Every structure is written in C-alpha cells, then in structure tokens.
Amino acid sequence: MTHRTEARTRPEDPAETAAALRRDRFGSLPERIRPQDTVETRPATVPDPARDTYNPDEWLIRYCG
C-alpha cells in the first residue's frame, strides 16, 4: 500500500486558461471618457505683433506719393 501526501490535480485545459485570461483582460469596458475631455482648444499660431501692424494703404504712400 502506498501513501500519497499530495492531492491529485487534473491538468489544466489550455482553452479554459485562455478564456479566463481573456475574461480578466476584456471582461469589462474601460472607463468612459467625456467628449469635453478629448478636445483641446488653442490658437494655431502665436500672434505676431509685427505682422499686425500692416497698413493696407501703405502702397499708396510708397508708390504714388
């Protein structure tokens, strides 16, 4: 008569293991992100003060004066 000290375990099924891993990873949806949190508003370029000093009548003074 033999005496066993370890409990018998059956080999794990790879399909069950894979299913459990998938369930842990994809079992719930990620936290919801509000649309307001996905948009950032800022100017496309930094305003240039030297560029805004253009005078549209300057060509009259330069070429006709």
Question: What are the tens digits of pLDDT across the range 35-47?
Answer: 999 988 887 887 7
* pTM of the predicted model as reported, rounded to 2 decimal places: 0.31
Residue 64 exposed, middle or buried by CB count within 10 Å (0-12, 13-18, 19+) = exposed
- Give pLDDT, residue 32: 92
Q: What is the pLDDT of residues 3-55, one digit of tens each?
A: 667 666 666 788 899 999 999 998 988 899 999 999 888 878 877 777 767 67
Closest CA relative to residue 12, chosen from 20, 24, 3: 20
